Structure 1
Amino acid sequence: MTDHSDLQGSPSCTPHYPELSGRVAVVTGAARGMGACFAAGLARQGVHVLGVDIDEATLQNTVREAHQTGLSTHHGSFEGLPCDVSSRSDIQKIAALAVQQFGRLDIWVNNAGIFPQTDVPSVDTKQITQTFQINVNGVFFGAQAAAEQMKHGGVIINMASVAAFRVRRGRAVYSATKAAVHNLTQSLAVELGGQGIRVNALAPGFIDTEMTNWVREIPGAMDKALSTIPLGRIGEPTDVLNALLFLVSDAAAYVSGQTLGVDGGSRHG
């Protein structure tokens, strides 16, 4: 029998608990849904967050609401700025501004995305182009801009989806973009690892946000959705936030190139 008593307390067995205070993050698509949850959640961990979104009015309301719920007592910050993630120049300006304002950039969350639902015969060129521009180009531009500014390493988180692995009718274009994000995450992890940059993705399943409100409006849709989730419940934005906080923290210091499912087991259900 091996005696493991000598391992107790040794450096190799001492965990790195999440400590994010003072770090600087950019979160795209921060006006609503999971993006808003990510931005406020990081700020409550002491992170200085620049939340960006093309919908500036809703974004500013989100920022105000976050501060009204006591955000300032956590010593982080949450500011909102307009940005079109499909514009490389917009993304580059945001990354540079983060460094100009806070002196560093540690975390970049590529959250912005759209969720078209159209059967294959009705999909047109405009929908394909727009969905790829936001869901894929936006991720690539964000990673490029972040890597350029992360002089001393950092973390990039991309938003994939369970749809990258488990397809449904009406989601061909969306699923294709999320499969691309899964693959892109692996490629970015390989290419940016030498700069000390970790790149991972989150693949949420059915999460209770505005994007999934339709399930409450269609008779029988909720029961059908629940039947595909082994844990038997719809996910909450905080479920995904908790996974994000792990991946951006030092607790995940040796995790890169991974797509972490946050789906209640639905990928395998």
Structure 2
Amino acid sequence: MTSNSYPFGGKVVLVTGGGSGIGRAIARAFLNNGATVAVTGRRTAPLDETLAGADPDTTLAIGADLADPDQAAGVIDRVVERFGRLDVLVNNAAQFVAKPFTEVTREEWTGIRSANADAFVHLLQRALPELERTGGNVVVVGSVSGLRGDWGQSVYNATKALIMNLVQSLALDYGPRGVRLNSVAPAFTVTPITEGIAEDEQLLARFTNRVALGRPGRPEDVAPAVLFLASEDARYITGTTLAVDGGTTASTGQPHLD
């Protein structure tokens, strides 16, 4: 999973959206590096699959809808009650909508905003006092789509930009309190949500055409970057966004003609 080892023994990590894809890879990477890991998502069965084989004394699966402020606060409370502390919050859970802006329904806008932005706000408001107590940190799985625009997915991009800017702003507020906040920004990554694209060679080629390294990302490419930002090796890094995109954002956007 990772080339480097990080001493996360004794640290308590909460990963949202930990039941599949990038969230699962991140949770397992922390487990492999000795952390106590809690994962949360709407369905508990995938969370249990993520934690399968790990020591039940150092793991916790919590089913919750984080768009509900009471449930979000309750997740933080359960982690602290069970393990006595919280050292790292990894905000990964997200929804995706791709359609023309004027066709986005009120329900779709409310849903994606609630899942991608409101849930993070609710979690942070309860988690930050705990992270201040432990000198902990936050890592957000953002997106290159939060850095620039994309065709046909304006509302998704807007929510990603919101949480990534929130990280920067709170890094200023909480740096003096000993809490670091950072983001990673993947580009196209093969997960259960994007497998349909990955299996269509012609469609996949339109995505990899923009990637300097010539292949789509994998969840296992993102997890090590999250571990680094959460570790003491990144102790002087806060308020930053680390692109984990194979060089996608190195491009001006002009087509690769070879």
Q: Give TM-score, length-normalised by structure 1.
A: 0.86
For 1:31, the aligned partner's letter is G
Aligned partner letter, 1:121 = T
1:166 and 1:267 in contact (8 A); partners too: no
1:53 aligns with 2:53: no
Deviation at 1:218, TM superposition (A): 4.4
For residues 126-169 of structure 1, the C-alpha deviation after alignment (integer angstroms, 9 at most, x for no partner) is 11111111101111122222112221310111121010123222
Match of 2:176 among 194, 214, 228: 194
Alpha-carbon distance in 2 for matches of 1:255, 1:216: 34
Segments of 5+ residues of structure 1 without an aligned counterpart are 1-16
What is the identity, as a one-letter code, of the residue corresponding to 2:148?
R
Cα separation, 1, equivalents of 2:240 and 2:192: 27
Q: Secondary structure at the match of 1:51?
A: strand
- Aligned partner of 1:230 in structure 2 is 212
Instruction: Classify the secondary structure of the residue corresponding to 1:158.
Output: strand
Secondary structure of the corresponding residue to residue 166 of structure 1: coil
What SS does structure 1 have at the residue aligned with 2:150? coil
Which residue is 1:266 aligned to?
248
Give the conservation status (yes or no) of the 8 Å contact 1:85–1:112. no
Residue 21 of structure 1 aligns to a residue in which SS? Answer: coil
1:102 alignment partner, one of 67, 83, 93:
83
Distance 1:251 1:158, change over 3 A: same
Query: For 1:223 and 1:185, how far apart are their aligned partners in 2?
Result: 33
Q: 1:61 to 1:18 in 2, by over 3 A?
A: closer
Q: 2:221 aligns with which of 239, 256, 260?
A: 239
Alpha-carbon distance in structure 1 between the residues aligned to 2:23 and 2:178: 25
Match of 1:131 in 2: 112
- Where does residue 31 of structure 2 map in the other structure? 43
Q: Determine helix, strand or coil for the equivalent of 1:173.
A: helix
Deviation at 1:246, TM superposition (A): 0.3
State the match for 1:33 in structure 2.
Answer: 21
The residue that corresponds to 2:256 in the other structure is: none
Is residue 2:82 matched to residue 1:116? no
Distance 1:63 1:21 in 2: 17
Three-state SS of the structure 2 residue aligned to 1:193 is helix
**Aligned residue identity for 2:64:** C
Matched, 1:90 2:71: yes
SS of structure 1 residue aligned to 2:248: coil
Paired amino acid for 2:206: K
| Matched position secondary structure for 1:109 | strand
For 2:250, what is the secondary structure of its paired residue? coil
- Quick check: which has more Rg, 1 or 2? 1
Structure 1 CA distance, aligned partners of 2:48 and 2:217? Answer: 26
Number of aligned residue pairs: give it.
Answer: 246
TM-align CA RMSD? 1.7
Alpha-carbon distance between aligned partners in 2 of 1:237 and 1:244, rounded to the nearest angstrom: 11
Cα offset for 1:103? Answer: 1.6
SS at match of 1:174: helix
Aligned-residue offset at 1:248: 0.4
Counterpart-to-counterpart distance in 2, 1:241 and 1:76: 23
Q: 1:190 to 1:76 in 2, by over 3 A?
A: farther
SS in 1 for 2:79: helix
Q: Out of 155, 164, 168, which is 1:182 matched to? A: 164
Could you tell me the TM-score, scaled by structure 2's length?
A: 0.90
**C-alpha contact 2:27 2:50 (8 A) present in aligned 1:** no
Task: List runs of 5+ in structure 2 lacking aligned partners.
Answer: 252-258
- Identity across matched positions, percent: 32
Are 1:24 and 2:12 counterparts? yes
Distance in 1 between the 2:218 and 2:229 partners?
18
Deviation at 1:219, TM superposition (A): 5.7
2:141 corresponding residue in structure 1: 159
Where 1:26 maps in the other structure, the secondary structure is strand
Check the 8 A contact 2:190/2:198 in 1, yes or no: no
Amino acid at match of 1:207: T
Q: Secondary structure at the match of 2:206?
A: helix
**Structure 1 position 96, deviation (Å):** 1.8
> How big is each residue's C-alpha offset from its partner over 1:95-115, in whole Å with a ceiling of 9 and x where there is no partner?
122222112110001111001
SS at 1:210's partner residue? coil
Alpha-carbon offset, residue 234 of structure 1: 1.0
